[in-house]
Structures are given as structure tokens and as C-alpha cells.
A and B are shown apart, each in its own frame.
Chain A
Amino acid sequence: MLIKLTGGTVYDPAHGIDGKVMDILVRDGRIVERQHDGERIDQEYNLKGKVVMAGAIDMHTHIGGGKVNIARTLLPEDHRGDPVDHTELCKAGCGHAVPSTLTTGYRYAEMGYTAGFEPAVLPMNARQAHLEMGDTPIIDKGGYAMLGSDDLLLRMMAANKDQNAINDYVAWTIHASQAIGIKVVNAGGINAFKFNQRMLDLDEKNSHYQVTPREVLQRLSRAVHELGVPHPLHVHGNNLGVPGNVETTLNTIAGVDGYPLHLTHIQFHSYGTEGDRKFSSGAARIAEAINKNKHISADVGQILFGQTVTASGDNMSQFRNAGHAHPNKWVCMDIECDAGCGVVPFKYKDQNFVNALQWAIGLEIFLLVDDPWRIFLTTDHPNGAPFTSYPHLIRLLTDKTFRNDMLSRISPDAQAMSTLASIDREYSLYEIAIMTRAGAAKLVGLHDRGHLGVGAAADISVYTDNPDREKMFAKPDYVFKDGELVVKDGSVVKVTWGATHVVKPEFDRAIEKEIAKYYDTYHTVKMDHVKVTDQHIADDGRGHVQVQACQGRREKLA
């Protein structure tokens, strides 16, 4: 099967291509250089005047696993506002804040997204995360396994175990959870909450283990690096949402031995304490630190106004914020000596000073960070806003007039506390393509996605150029997934099932002896039963695992 995409204007930052008119050939799902002699073109699409990019990649989106399903169960009233009928092709479901799995897949594809990564896969709940992602059609998916508040790691650290043992345990966890990276959430804090600690700053000790968050970050970031896992340690910082947490975040950037870190939903960690209300923007300081420290990347976790729900592993913070629940109901859980979760519905209001300033802080960070390869477009779906608001967010970044118009409508006190109006930057299409495609693929470690070079998987989105970028990105003309046309004129025309991307770093299997003993002594399940196998992911008859390359085990940074 040979497909030719003819004459489109291509944005492929991985190859430095910035709006060049060119043809793309796709054979059997992959991009190829040229036609074989005498080979017939089975299908040709005339893309003259159209914008062509690789399929977009959401590198941080809560689309599967226990907390997401709790959020669904919690909010029937939200689903009722967005019922999704079944069609000839698609199953029924619901949309808005926490869509059903099938609707999630359709709607991502209908915006030109071809992959999404669940950032909080609890090892004890990994099977569920993969089951839900297995019922999410069209897009590829993957997850980051959560460590850092699990009792086994903290026990190993308290016992001052050798870094090699920690590395082996981290690698084992990546295998067992079928993950592509490691995430740490409120390092050590979820665990400390179980011992009734309510805050845990970077150098504060867990009352039982006497281990600090900084030490957890040091151990895990080093492990991820030394295992050769492409995605740097994915860090949800301590003190989420707390005014003044900008200091914690800057301290985190400065103080983790120089190993690469990805700071997620950094907007929620960029708050100062200036002004009459003791709540201010730390965006400029955060952006400056990111600009200066090349080993740091971040995604924003932009908030947008309206009803949504926050679903997080960070039950320490979620319990603290539960008073803001709207509607007034919330779930917090302590989970399996492994982690926790907290699900709190939120309604962000543009006339609320704090919410409005959160909105401005997110945009300030986007616009003040210089390097689009190290800042990523997320709303931390659904925590800041549902992923379906991405086209609106793209317009805010690419259109200064529109942005300032929106700014003029929010709480005047928040406007007065923000520098947003003075920022002239407008993201170009090339920069949007970096953030949502090339940069995201590089960051996650997807070697054959996010670009349009020869050998890449043919995940391709085609848009009609429109100065209203919200309209443009909401409705692609065509979306190809692995070379198959799945979306036409913004609607699904074929339902396919994507791959689950994982890494499988090498490790010493002898660590299993220690892990098995720990499970047998303290847990209620056996170690072997926790593992999610390749076959488990293929069991539904549709899914499969794609292993992305690791860089091989590395030595400590000089």
C-alpha cells in the first residue's frame, strides 16, 4: 500500500523543516523515501495549501487508571452535559471533563493527536491503567510508573542501599508496569501523609524513614539516567498549589545533582507570596531558571476556566485542597504501601483572583521560556482543563490580540498582578510543532514518532491554514495513524487500535529475590502477579507493546 501526500506545507522540526512545500510517501504505515520502480500509488491526497505535521503527542494526560475511573464515577452530572451517541463506526460514551475511554481516543484523534501518555501509573494499579488505555482507540499510549512514596524504595533508602540496587528496582518496576518512564509525585510526601505529616518540603524528613524528598529525587533521577531511560525523571513537585512554592521548585531545579528532570504541570508550582493577597506569579523566576538550566524541561499544566476535576496521586495536597471541591465531594485514598490518589472536582472561575492569576501564570511561563524543545503544551488533563481545550490554548499562544482580549476579561486584581499584557511573543506554527510533536517525541523517547523523516511511523495530521488557530487545530482535514486514514474533516472515519510504547532497560534479575521477599512478608499479593506482561496487553485482541530503545546502562555523570 503506497500513499502519496502531495504538495502540503510541511512543518517537521525534527528535520529543521519550517513550512516547506513537499511530498510525503507512505508505504505500509511508514514514511519512505521514494517509489520503487514501477510501483503504483494506491492513493494520492492533494494537500496544496494545507499544513502538514506529524501527529501530535500529549506527553502528560490522565487517561487511564484507578483515579481516572474514580473521577468518572464521581461526576455523572458532568457526563450528562456531554452525552456521546454511537454511530455506525464509533461506540457511545460521554465527554467533557473525564471522557469515557472510547470517546477519549476518538476525540484525541479528531484533533490530530496520535499518542497520549498517562503520567501516574501506580505499579499496584498498572494493570487497570493498561486495561483502560487498551479500550482507548486509535491513539498510541504509554505510561510513567510512579515511585517515590512506595515503602520499598524508602526502605531501601533508609537502609542506605547501593545505587545499583535502586537502579535494578526502578528497572524492575518499569518492566512490571509496562512503562516508558518514571514519575515521582510529591516525593516521599504521599508516604509521609500516611504517617500524618501534612506538608513535606524538599529537605524535610519523612518521620518514619528519615528520608527527604531531595534524596528521593536524587536517587530516582540518577537511576533513570543510569538505566539509559530516554525520558528524564518526571517530577510532580512538593507543595503543589501552595503560595510560595516557587522557592521549592527553584530549589528542586538547583539541587538534584544535575541529572535531567522534567518538571510537570509547573504552573501549579510557580506561586509567590507577594501582593495584598499573598499570592503572586513566580513565572518569571521559573522561566529564567529553565532558560538557564539546560537539563530541565517542563510542561505547563495550563488552567482554563470552567468545570473540571483534578485527579492526582498526590493525596497529601489533594486532602489539603479538598475544601475547594466544586461540586463539594472528593475522594482520597491510601494505596497498597505503594502510593495514593486524590480526586477533587474544581471549577476555575475567571473572576476568582487566584484562578485568574493561575491562568495568567501558565501563559507567562509558556511565553517566557525561550526554548520550545523544553516546554510542553499540557493542561494536565483533566486537572487544569480537559484536553479538548488544546486548540483554544494554541490560539492563546499564537495570537497576542486574542490573548490580551481574554486577559482583559479576567479578575482585574489578577490582571494587575500579571505581566502577561507586556509580553509580545506569539508562537509560530513551527514552535507549536516542536512543543506538540518533535519535542514531545524526543522527551518521551519515541524514536519513530513526532517526525516525518524516512522510517517514521506515518502518524500525520493535515490542517487547513486559518489565522484563527483555534478553529484550525480543532478540526484537521485528515489524520493518518500508521498510514491509515482515521479522521477526515474532523470526524473519525476508521477505528484502529494503537500501540503501547514501553522501554525495557536492562537490569540484574537477582533483585527479584529481594522484591519477592518483601511482597511475601508485607503485601497481600505476590510479586509475580503484579507484573503486566506483553501478553496481558495483547489479551484484548487489539493491543500490542512497542519497545522503544534505551541508551544502555550508563555510569554516573562526571
Chain B
Amino acid sequence: MENFAQAATLESVTCPFCGLLCDDLTVQRDAAGKLDVTRNGCQKSITFFGRAPNQAAPRIAGKNATLAEAVAKAAELLGRSKSPLIAGLGTEVQGMRAVMSLADKAGATIDHMNSNGFMRNIQVIQNSGWQTCTLTEVRNRVDLLVVLGTDIVSLFPRFFEREIWNKESMFGQDTSKREVVYLGGRNIDTSAGVAPDGRKPDVLPCDPECIPDVLAALRALINGKKLHAADVGGIAMTDLQNLADRLKAAKYSVLTWAAGTLNFPHAELAVQNLTEMIKTLNLTTRASGLPLGGNEGEMNANQVSAWISGYPVRTSYASQHPEYDPYHFSTDKLLASGEADTLFWVSSFNPDRTPPATNLPTVVFGHADMKLENEPDVFIPVGTPGMDHNGVYFRSDNVVSLPIDRLRQSALPSLNTVLTAIEQAL
């Protein structure tokens, strides 16, 4: 049995602080439970693992309380609620199972804090489907990477290191010859796309709101249509034609996007143009989409919700059975319309993801370091999965899930423990 209260060097640690779920970190633990990433870190993992252990007590109306009192108070608020919303959902699989069970019992609606972005992808899947691949396929097969409107690395710091500029690949490819094209967006930091030999990526910038036009034009070109405009969104048609030709000639192109960064109206239609274009490319060669996401347990929430209710999040148990509505059951809408009357907010990985401003009775299940502008009715600090307790986490590609193991001594309860107690007290 490992003594978690002892200093140690921990190898092959899995990091749950972005959707890449890197599992090769070395973490140094001191006797006080402070963790320090000493190998294969990135700015995210160093920050998140580096937070000092904090054994904050639960609070009721700002006053310290025991866990039992806080659980009783949360159960009382939930019992009184006619239309509770359980949102945030920054947790791992066991925590999410407890959320589903509680939602079923309490007639709650569930939504994740990243859904505004994620739902763009879900709408594409539910309207037309798509053709995608996973990270290890990218690492071994990609010859042409097209990055849509993002630098990738501010959200997923080690993406290029691990999937593009990896030294060895399985099929004899010289990975340093891989081609990277940044398509769309302005002032994007493209330095991560520079090849190890200094070769620069191609950059075709446009204003974010022009991305739909650019994708529509590119898809038309791939379909063999002739376009008469000289440029689209400031990108020369000849450059787009060149990109279309390269995509058709590539053996395995990967087109990637992070739905959360596509902040323009009906971005789902832009994603759909991209994914339908990928289907067309696959009539003659191979190409895959790579939707990047999975931060804050986004995939955990949607996967568990899908197998337990049949639907992704934005699902309500207000009737006796689950109902799904990607528009009406959004956190923003339910709070703005006043349809929700109580908010349960979960963020166990990230203290900065605080609940949205609301006057509703609120219970926060938060990272112990969470600083709240408005003191909620109840605050219950919960352990961080993969640091304070074990869990399971789904990666960006929605296929690989890994155990995220406890790394240190902690008195903080898991979300699963707390929600199960609340459900029993209901």
C-alpha cells in the first residue's frame, strides 16, 4: 500500500488538465502533499498540479460547517427545488455517474460548462455525422494537418510535440516533412507549427466571422466547382485552390478544430462544411476530422450522460424520463429565463471556473482554491480527481479513457461521495 503522506517521485502520471490526457509526467511529491511536475510538464500541468494542498472546510452561507451539515443543507435546497440545474460538471466518470443518479432522483437538468462549444459538434453529429480519427492515428499517419482558427496549443499545450513532431512514426514517414496549414483566424501564434528543421507552416488568415465563407468555398473547390471570386475573406482563391489540391493529393490529411474557439453565430454550420468536405475527400483518398476538446471533463460528462440517459448533456429529468434539448436546456438559457430555481455547480479540476452570476439558491462543489465573488448558499470543497482521489477520464478523441490515480494524502471528499450522500438524504 502506497504511503501517500511520504515524499516520492511518481512516474508515468496521467494529467487530467486538458483533453490530451498525457500520461508520461514525472511528479515530485513532498511530505506535505505538494506536487511538482519535473518532467514532460506544460504550463497547464505545472500550474494545476502545483497548487498547494488546501483542506478548506465546507461553508454554509459563508460560515464553516461540517461536511454532514453541508450535505444536509444541500439536500434541503434540492428537496425544495422544483426545477434544479446541475451544471459545470467538471468531474470524472464516477463523479458523473453520481450526477446522473442524483439528477434522475431530483428531476434535475444537466449541462456542462463547455457545452456552448461542444454542442456545435453534437449538432453536426446529430444532423449529418462525421468521419474522424484519434490521437495515435494522427501521430503515425498525418501528412497534411489543417488547423482551423486556433493555435491549438493554448488549449492543448503538447499537441504538436506529441502528435505532429514526434520523432518516430510507424509507417516510415519523415515526420519533419509533415505539412501544417493554419486556416482562418487572426494573429494566431503559429510557432508550434514550425517544423523541427525550421520550416514554417502555411498561414491563410481571415477574420473569424469569415471562416464559414472560407470553408464553403474550400468545400466547393474540393467538389470540383469553379468559383469566380478572386478571394474569400481576404484569402486568395488561388491559395484556397492550392489547399484543395493538396488535400486531394494527401494520403492521410487531418483537419482539426476546437469547437469552443469558433465564437461566431451558427459555427456548427462551419464545422459541418468541414466535416462534409472530409467525407468527400474520403471518396478518393483518406482524410479525418479531429475535433479537439475534452477539457474540464467535457467528454466524461457527455459519455456518461449518453450511456445512462441516451442523450448527451442538456438533458432534463423534469419529466419521469430524460428529455434532451440542446437549445432550451443550456445553463445560460435556464438561468436567464428563470426556469431553473436552484443551481448546483461542479468544478473539481479548475478553481477558476466559478458558477455564472445568479440570484438562485446555489450549491458549489468546487476545487478547494475556488474564490467566489458571491458566497453561495453552500460551498463544498471536493477533491481533484487524479490528485486527491482515483477516477477515470475520457480524452479529447472520445475513445481513450484512462485511470487518473490519487497522488497524495487528502481529506477532501470526492464528488461521488458527496453527491451520493445528498441523494441518500433527499
Measured CB to CB, the residues of A under 8 A from B are 64, 66, 68-70, 72-74, 76, 79, 83-86, 91-94, 98-102, 122, 124-125, 127-128, 131-132, 135, 151, 155, 193-196, 208, 319, 325, 328-338, 343, 521-526, 528-529, 536, 539-540
Whether B12 and A528, one on each chain, are in contact in the complex, defined by CB atoms closer than 8 angstroms, is yes
Whether A526 and B129, one on each chain, are in contact in the complex, defined by CB atoms closer than 8 angstroms, is no
Whether A332 and B285, one on each chain, are in contact in the complex, defined by CB atoms closer than 8 angstroms, is no
Whether A101 and B307, one on each chain, are in contact in the complex, defined by CB atoms closer than 8 angstroms, is yes
Specify which chain B residues have a CB less than 8 angstroms from the CB of A521 in the assembled complex.
Answer: 168
Whether B131 and A91, one on each chain, are in contact in the complex, defined by CB atoms closer than 8 angstroms, is no
Specify which chain B residues have a CB less than 8 angstroms from the CB of A128 in the assembled complex.
Answer: 303, 394, 399, 401
> What are 14 A-B pairs at a CB distance below 8 A?
A72-B311, A79-B311, A92-B104, A94-B310, A100-B309, A135-B97, A330-B129, A331-B130, A334-B132, A334-B288, A335-B133, A524-B135, A525-B23, A526-B24
Specify which chain B residues have a CB less than 8 angstroms from the CB of A536 in the assembled complex.
Answer: 392, 403
Q: Report which residue of B97, B126, B324 has the largest number of chain A beta carbons within 10 angstroms of its beta carbon.
A: B126
Whether A100 and B307, one on each chain, are in contact in the complex, defined by CB atoms closer than 8 angstroms, is yes
| Bound-state Cα–Cα, A223 to B49, Å | 44
Closest 7 CB pairs of A and B: A94-B310, A85-B320, A83-B321, A329-B129, A334-B133, A79-B310, A330-B129
Whether A329 and B322, one on each chain, are in contact in the complex, defined by CB atoms closer than 8 angstroms, is no
Specify which chain A residues have a CB less than 8 angstroms from the CB of B122 in the assembled complex.
Answer: 73
Q: From the candidates A64, A74, A92, A127, name the one contacting B402 in the complex (CB within 8 A).
A: A127
Q: Which residue of B lies closest to A328 (CB)?
A: B128
Asked if B26 lies at the interface with its beta carbon under 8 angstroms from chain A, I say no
Whether A522 and B307, one on each chain, are in contact in the complex, defined by CB atoms closer than 8 angstroms, is no
Asked if B125 lies at the interface with its beta carbon under 8 angstroms from chain A, I say yes
Q: A132-B307, A335-B399, A529-B402 are in contact. List 18 more A-B contacts (CB 8 A).
A: A64-B307, A86-B321, A92-B104, A93-B322, A94-B322, A101-B308, A124-B134, A125-B399, A128-B303, A131-B401, A196-B251, A328-B128, A331-B132, A332-B132, A333-B131, A523-B139, A526-B12, A539-B392
Asked if B406 lies at the interface with its beta carbon under 8 angstroms from chain A, I say no
Specify which chain B residues have a CB less than 8 angstroms from the CB of A69 in the assembled complex.
Answer: 303, 306-307
Asked if B53 lies at the interface with its beta carbon under 8 angstroms from chain A, I say no
Whether B134 and A334, one on each chain, are in contact in the complex, defined by CB atoms closer than 8 angstroms, is yes
Given contacts A76-B126, A93-B309, A319-B282, contact A524 B131 (CB under 8 A): no
| Bound-state Cα–Cα, A224 to B153, Å | 44
| Bound-state Cα–Cα, A528 to B163, Å | 20
Rounded to whole Å, the gap between the CB of A535 and the closest CB of chain B is 9
Rounded to whole Å, the gap between the CB of B152 and the closest CB of chain A is 15
| Bound-state Cα–Cα, A76 to B314, Å | 12
| Bound-state Cα–Cα, A93 to B324, Å | 11
Asked if B238 lies at the interface with its beta carbon under 8 angstroms from chain A, I say no
Specify which chain A residues have a CB less than 8 angstroms from the CB of B128 in the assembled complex.
Answer: 328-329
Whether A331 and B125, one on each chain, are in contact in the complex, defined by CB atoms closer than 8 angstroms, is yes
Given contacts A86-B321, A335-B399, contact A74 B137 (CB under 8 A): no
Binary interface encoding of chain B residues 120-163 relative to chain A, with 1 for a CB under 8 A from any of its CBs, else 0: 00100111111111111101110000000000000000000011
Whether B125 and A194, one on each chain, are in contact in the complex, defined by CB atoms closer than 8 angstroms, is no
Q: From the candidates B129, B308, B320, name the one contacting A331 in the complex (CB within 8 A).
A: B129
Given contacts A524-B162, A536-B403, contact A194 B137 (CB under 8 A): yes
| Bound-state Cα–Cα, A337 to B134, Å | 9
Whether A529 and B399, one on each chain, are in contact in the complex, defined by CB atoms closer than 8 angstroms, is no
Whether B309 and A92, one on each chain, are in contact in the complex, defined by CB atoms closer than 8 angstroms, is yes
Asked if B170 lies at the interface with its beta carbon under 8 angstroms from chain A, I say yes
Whether B399 and A83, one on each chain, are in contact in the complex, defined by CB atoms closer than 8 angstroms, is no
Binary interface encoding of chain B residues 387-409 relative to chain A, with 1 for a CB under 8 A from any of its CBs, else 0: 00010101000111111000000
Specify which chain A residues have a CB less than 8 angstroms from the CB of B345 in the assembled complex.
Answer: none
Whether A540 and B94, one on each chain, are in contact in the complex, defined by CB atoms closer than 8 angstroms, is yes
Specify which chain A residues have a CB less than 8 angstroms from the CB of B34 in the assembled complex.
Answer: none
Given contacts A329-B127, A337-B170, contact A523 B311 (CB under 8 A): no
Specify which chain A residues have a CB less than 8 angstroms from the CB of B162 in the assembled complex.
Answer: 524
| Bound-state Cα–Cα, A319 to B279, Å | 9
Q: From the candidates A76, A79, A196, A333, name the one contacting B133 in the complex (CB within 8 A).
A: A333
Whether B130 and A124, one on each chain, are in contact in the complex, defined by CB atoms closer than 8 angstroms, is no
Whether B129 and A336, one on each chain, are in contact in the complex, defined by CB atoms closer than 8 angstroms, is no
| Bound-state Cα–Cα, A328 to B168, Å | 39
Specify which chain B residues have a CB less than 8 angstroms from the CB of A135 in the assembled complex.
Answer: 97, 307-308
Whether A526 and B399, one on each chain, are in contact in the complex, defined by CB atoms closer than 8 angstroms, is no
Specify which chain B residues have a CB less than 8 angstroms from the CB of A155 in the assembled complex.
Answer: 170
Whether B312 and A333, one on each chain, are in contact in the complex, defined by CB atoms closer than 8 angstroms, is no
Whether B104 and A194, one on each chain, are in contact in the complex, defined by CB atoms closer than 8 angstroms, is no
Given contacts A92-B317, A329-B129, A522-B136, contact A83 B322 (CB under 8 A): yes
Whether A93 and B310, one on each chain, are in contact in the complex, defined by CB atoms closer than 8 angstroms, is yes
Q: Report which residue of B135, B162, B311, B312 has the largest number of chain A beta carbons within 10 angstroms of its beta carbon.
A: B311
Q: From the candidates A76, A101, A194, name the one contacting B252 in the complex (CB within 8 A).
A: A194
Specify which chain B residues have a CB less than 8 angstroms from the CB of A325 in the assembled complex.
Answer: 129
Q: Which residue of A lies closest to B311 (CB)?
A: A76
Specify which chain A residues have a CB less than 8 angstroms from the CB of B312 in the assembled complex.
Answer: 73
Whether A522 and B131, one on each chain, are in contact in the complex, defined by CB atoms closer than 8 angstroms, is no
Whether A86 and B307, one on each chain, are in contact in the complex, defined by CB atoms closer than 8 angstroms, is no
Whether A522 and B168, one on each chain, are in contact in the complex, defined by CB atoms closer than 8 angstroms, is yes
Asked if B286 lies at the interface with its beta carbon under 8 angstroms from chain A, I say yes
| Bound-state Cα–Cα, A325 to B279, Å | 14
Rounded to whole Å, the gap between the CB of A94 and the closest CB of chain B is 4
Whether A72 and B310, one on each chain, are in contact in the complex, defined by CB atoms closer than 8 angstroms, is yes
Q: Report which residue of B126, B135, B309, B400 has the largest number of chain A beta carbons within 10 angstroms of its beta carbon.
A: B400
Specify which chain B residues have a CB less than 8 angstroms from the CB of A525 in the assembled complex.
Answer: 21, 23, 136, 400, 402
Given contacts A330-B129, A540-B97, contact A127 B401 (CB under 8 A): yes
Q: Which residue of A lies closest to B163 (CB)?
A: A524
Whether B309 and A127, one on each chain, are in contact in the complex, defined by CB atoms closer than 8 angstroms, is no
Whether A331 and B131, one on each chain, are in contact in the complex, defined by CB atoms closer than 8 angstroms, is yes
| Bound-state Cα–Cα, A99 to B168, Å | 42
Specify which chain A residues have a CB less than 8 angstroms from the CB of B168 in the assembled complex.
Answer: 521-522
Instruction: List residues of B (323-356) whose CB comes within 8 Å of A's CBs.
Output: 323-324
Specify which chain A residues have a CB less than 8 angstroms from the CB of B403 in the assembled complex.
Answer: 127, 529, 536
Rounded to whole Å, the gap between the CB of B252 and the closest CB of chain A is 7
Whether B400 and A125, one on each chain, are in contact in the complex, defined by CB atoms closer than 8 angstroms, is yes
Rounded to whole Å, the gap between the CB of B84 and the closest CB of chain A is 15
Binary interface encoding of chain B residues 352-363 relative to chain A, with 1 for a CB under 8 A from any of its CBs, else 0: 000000000000
Q: From the candidates B130, B134, B163, B394, name the one contacting A336 in the complex (CB within 8 A).
A: B134
| Bound-state Cα–Cα, A528 to B14, Å | 11
Asked if B101 lies at the interface with its beta carbon under 8 angstroms from chain A, I say yes
Q: From the candidates B140, B286, B302, B322, name the one contacting A337 in the complex (CB within 8 A).
A: B140
Specify which chain B residues have a CB less than 8 angstroms from the CB of A332 in the assembled complex.
Answer: 131-132
Rounded to whole Å, the gap between the CB of A538 and the closest CB of chain B is 12
| Bound-state Cα–Cα, A334 to B140, Å | 12
Whether A336 and B104, one on each chain, are in contact in the complex, defined by CB atoms closer than 8 angstroms, is no
| Bound-state Cα–Cα, A328 to B128, Å | 7
| Bound-state Cα–Cα, A209 to B250, Å | 20
Q: From the candidates A74, A86, A101, A523, name the one contacting B136 in the complex (CB within 8 A).
A: A523
Asked if B190 lies at the interface with its beta carbon under 8 angstroms from chain A, I say no
Whether A99 and B310, one on each chain, are in contact in the complex, defined by CB atoms closer than 8 angstroms, is yes
| Bound-state Cα–Cα, A83 to B315, Å | 13
Specify which chain A residues have a CB less than 8 angstroms from the CB of B401 in the assembled complex.
Answer: 125, 127-128, 131
Specify which chain B residues have a CB less than 8 angstroms from the CB of A151 in the assembled complex.
Answer: 140, 170
| Bound-state Cα–Cα, A74 to B311, Å | 9
Given contacts A94-B309, A539-B94, contact A335 B137 (CB under 8 A): yes
Specify which chain B residues have a CB less than 8 angstroms from the CB of A76 in the assembled complex.
Answer: 126, 310-311, 324
Specify which chain A residues have a CB less than 8 angstroms from the CB of B252 in the assembled complex.
Answer: 194
Rounded to whole Å, the gap between the CB of B146 and the closest CB of chain A is 17
Asked if B74 lies at the interface with its beta carbon under 8 angstroms from chain A, I say no
Rounded to whole Å, the gap between the CB of B190 and the closest CB of chain A is 23
Whether B131 and A124, one on each chain, are in contact in the complex, defined by CB atoms closer than 8 angstroms, is no
Q: Which residue of B lies closest to A519 (CB)?
A: B136
Specify which chain B residues have a CB less than 8 angstroms from the CB of A99 in the assembled complex.
Answer: 310
Rounded to whole Å, the gap between the CB of B406 and the closest CB of chain A is 12
Specify which chain B residues have a CB less than 8 angstroms from the CB of A125 in the assembled complex.
Answer: 399-401
Binary interface encoding of chain B residues 7-36 relative to chain A, with 1 for a CB under 8 A from any of its CBs, else 0: 000001010000011011000000000000
Rounded to whole Å, the gap between the CB of A210 and the closest CB of chain B is 13
Whether A91 and B308, one on each chain, are in contact in the complex, defined by CB atoms closer than 8 angstroms, is yes
